[in-house]
């Protein structure tokens, strides 16, 4: 079934692209949604009837199509791998993907490029499924580059808008930086392990162990050591930072909001941006062998989470708030992976897919009902006009804030506890990272409360927003009044389904401290490596006392319950602070530094973009290209031209001239031999 799970959306993309314009919206809607629906049904059948019944340590199904490249001991198959990690990803990619496709049929209704949009969206689904199911790093890279291409096409979908084109190019270029690190990492991995496959392969009658099993046999490189495992892990992490928008490669994702809102929900909340987390988890056997790399992942994740949260609190575009929230939540996921809690990170990937897709689609419903207005300062009081949108976004708000019994609460609490209990970090750093993560959770509740208050509560500001020249779309929007309305059922029904998933989605990860079995952790355990306790890099010895103490904390249910209580207090405190601050003064002026996103884009322009453009224009073009390369080529051409022109004087066409020349030549020869 794996081939049809992936190829159904590809067939849908081809049908929409070649026939959609002629056959119309109904045909495109049926094909696009139907193809993803087929993928979802087959995914559920494969997952629940084929994968789950297998013994826990043998849950691995491969489907080989053909051998793609085979040179010596190098072999890359076009083959798919279904195991607990890829299976879990398949469930929410196809499930959430189908809901977003259905929503998009209403959101994009009447758009001139309707067929083109769904062709891109279906193609993206094919590439994302290939990324997740690929049984080796090279096939994974095909999907990796494919989702980058589709992201470029979808972000720049509104081709007449310069903003969209610039955002698409920015996303493409920034991702290329990360992809360069990924590609070099794959090369180093092959030269080290002679395999890039996630499963054992038989080549020439000899079984070649998989990349991950070979990596598992390597010694742990302690903090400060930069052996080959550290190099491979850090190079792969560069790729993950690009795709999952981590510092310093995060700048493309907020600008990507220039694309249609369903794109933001699918690509930049539920699927593509989590590819970096998937890569890190899939290669956990490599990362756990380098404590330097694990430390880097944890620190970058924590910094990104806090950094983006502080920016999100000051944004006014409803989609930009959610974009920086996504960057922050991705940082949370990497922080979990960096402390060795890979299953907690993947758990948060799943719950985040539910509530963030809900929030993005809810934002799209607000934009649709507000006639393309996106500035939350020009909203207010919308709950009476959009009851379905308000009710569902209310669930998403509480889930991302970490309110008890909702999905976000379980996954975020698990990450916070795993950070505190980790024994793979230097002394004191785990506690510092926990403080950063807790502060990020507090800020998340504050800025999401601000978004909800300014959008749905308080006075209606949209009635005057367009009389003062401050409409989101400028003068064009200023000439007509806004009359908010609820979105059609085709848009709010997917919101209801996502709201339900945001409520119940976390119960698969209830920890033993609260009477659960943390089913998701046990399910993923066979495919995720465990981080080794902190190693003394100087002596190569494990701190046994520290490890034992940490292990005791890890199983101390009383302490875990106390920290759960702290998480609950943080969530409600954030909501309370946000409510108090922004109901009293909705248009409270935020710090300019945060509004301008710490001037990171301006810094990149000044320090990187402008110098590169200057060197390219003034040296590479005007000097190297025009004067040196073109000058050399044109100079050679002129030399031969001038030589030809000189030679033409010898070809006069008069016989007496030729006779005179021969006579002169003969005289010269006679004189030479006479006086020699």
Give the domain ranges of the chain: 290-595, 607-674
Instruction: Give pLDDT, residue 655.
Output: 83
**Among candidates 362, 327, 363, 334, which has minimal Cα distance to 348?**
334
Q: ω into residue 248 within 30 of 0, thus cis?
A: yes
**Among candidates 508, 532, 526, which has minimal Cα distance to 518?**
508
Q: Which helix (H) or strand (E) holds 69?
A: strand 61-71
Cα–Cα distance between 417 and 415 in angstroms, integer?
A: 5
242, 174 contact by CB (below 8 A): yes
Cα–Cα distance between 398 and 485 in angstroms, integer?
A: 24
pLDDT in tens, 298-346: 999 999 999 999 999 999 999 999 999 999 999 999 999 999 999 999 9
564, 514 contact by CB (below 8 A): yes
Q: Which segments in the chain show pLDDT lower than 50? A: 465-479, 536-554
Cα–Cα distance between 572 and 450 in angstroms, integer?
A: 14
Cα–Cα distance between 350 and 270 in angstroms, integer?
A: 8
Q: Which helix (H) or strand (E) holds 652?
A: none
pLDDT in tens, 261-298: 999 998 877 789 999 999 999 999 999 999 999 999 99
One-character DSSP codes across 507-534: GGG--GGGT---HHHHHHGGGSPPPPPP
Token output for 107: 């959101």
Token output for 415: 């990450």
Interaxial angle between packed helices 342-369 and 407-421, expressed in degrees from 0 to 180 and rounded to the nearest 10: 140
Which residue is it, tokens 């193609």? 123
Cα–Cα distance between 361 and 364 in angstroms, integer?
A: 5
Under DSSP, the state recorded for 539 is: T
Instruction: Give pLDDT, residue 555.
Output: 57
Q: Where do runs of H (alpha helix) occur along 72-219?
A: 84-107, 114-133, 137-155, 162-193, 211-216
Token output for 282: 């899939």
Instruction: Give pLDDT, residue 475.
Output: 36
249, 217 contact by CB (below 8 A): no
282, 198 contact by CB (below 8 A): yes
Instruction: Give pLDDT, residue 464.
Output: 54
Instruction: Give pLDDT, residue 201.
Output: 85
């Amino acid at each position: 079934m794996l081939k049809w799970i992936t190829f159904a959306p590809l067939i849908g993309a081809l049908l929409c692209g070649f026939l959609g314009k002629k056959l119309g919206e109904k045909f495109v809607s049926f094909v696009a949604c139907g193809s993803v629906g087929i993928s979802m049904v087959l995914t559920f059948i494969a997952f629940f009837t084929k994968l789950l019944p297998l013994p826990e340590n043998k849950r691995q199904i491969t489907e080989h199509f053909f051998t793609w490249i085979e040179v010596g001991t190098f072999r890359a198959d076009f083959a798919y791998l279904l195991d607990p990690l890829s299976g879990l990803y398949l469930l929410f990619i196809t499930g959430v993907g189908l809901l977003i496709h259905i929503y998009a049929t209403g959101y994009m209704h009447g758009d001139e490029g309707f067929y083109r949009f769904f062709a891109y969206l279906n193609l993206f689904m094919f590439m994302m499924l290939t990324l997740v199911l690929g049984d080796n790093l090279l096939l994974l890279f095909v999907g990796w580059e494919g989702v980058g291409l589709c992201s470029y096409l979808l972000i720049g979908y509104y081709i007449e808008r310069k903003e969209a084109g610039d955002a698409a190019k920015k996303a493409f270029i920034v991702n290329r930086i990360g992809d360069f690190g990924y590609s070099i990492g794959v090369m180093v991995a092959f030269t080290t392990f002679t395999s890039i496959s996630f499963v054992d392969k038989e080549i020439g009658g000899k079984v070649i162990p998989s990349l991950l099993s070979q990596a598992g046999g390597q010694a742990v490189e302690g903090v400060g050591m930069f052996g080959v495992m550290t190099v491979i892990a850090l190079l792969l992490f560069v790729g993950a930072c690009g795709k999952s928008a981590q510092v310093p490669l995060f700048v493309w994702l907020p600008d990507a909001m220039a694309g249609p809102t369903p794109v933001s929900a699918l690509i930049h909340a539920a699927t593509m941006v989590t590819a970096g987390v998937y890569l890190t988890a899939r290669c956990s056997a490599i990362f756990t062998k380098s404590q330097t790399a694990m430390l880097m992942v944890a620190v970058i994740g924590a910094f990104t989470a806090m950094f983006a949260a502080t920016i999100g609190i000051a944004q006014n575009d409803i989609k930009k708030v959610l974009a920086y929230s996504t960057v922050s939540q991705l940082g949370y996921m990497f922080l979990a992976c960096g402390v060795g809690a890979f299953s907690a990170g993947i758990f948060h990937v799943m719950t985040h897919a539910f509530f963030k897709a809900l929030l993005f689609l809810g934002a799209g419903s607000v934009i649709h009902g507000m006639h393309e207005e996106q500035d939350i300062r020009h909203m207010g009081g919308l709950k009476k006009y959009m009851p379905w949108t308000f009710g569902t976004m209310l669930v998403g708000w509480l889930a991302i804030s970490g309110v008890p019994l909702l999905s976000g609460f379980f996954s975020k609490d698990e990450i916070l506890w795993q950070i505190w209990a980790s024994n793979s970090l230097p002394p004191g750093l785990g506690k510092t990272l926990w403080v950063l993560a807790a502060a990020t959770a507090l800020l998340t509740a504050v800025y999401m409360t601000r978004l909800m208050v300014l959008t749905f509560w308080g006075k209606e500001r949209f009635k005057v927003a367009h009389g003062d020249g401050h409409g989101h779309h400028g003068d064009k929007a200023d000439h007509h009044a806004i009359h908010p309305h609820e979105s059609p059922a085709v848009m709010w029904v997917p919101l209801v389904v996502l709201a339900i998933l945001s409520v119940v989605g976390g119960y698969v990860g209830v920890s033993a401290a609260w009477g659960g079995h943390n089913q998701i952790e046990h399910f993923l355990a066979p495919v995720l490596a465990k981080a080794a306790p902190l190693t003394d890099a100087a002596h190569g010895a494990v701190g046994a006392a520290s490890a034992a103490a940490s292990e005791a904390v890890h199983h101390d249910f009383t302490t875990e319950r106390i920290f759960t209580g702290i998480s609950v207090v943080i969530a409600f405190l954030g909501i309370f602070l946000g409510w108090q601050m922004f109901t009293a003064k909705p248009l409270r002026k935020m710090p300019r530094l945060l509004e301008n996103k710490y001037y990171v884009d301006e810094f990149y322009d000044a320090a990187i973009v402008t110098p590169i453009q200057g060197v390219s224009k003034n040296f590479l073009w005007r000097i190297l290209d025009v004067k040196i390369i073109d000058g050399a080529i044109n100079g050679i051409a002129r030399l031969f031209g001038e030589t030809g022109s000189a030679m033409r004087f010898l070809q006069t066409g008069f016989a007496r001239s030729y006779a005179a020349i021969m006579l002169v030549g003969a005289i010269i020869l006679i004189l030479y031999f006479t006086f020699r």
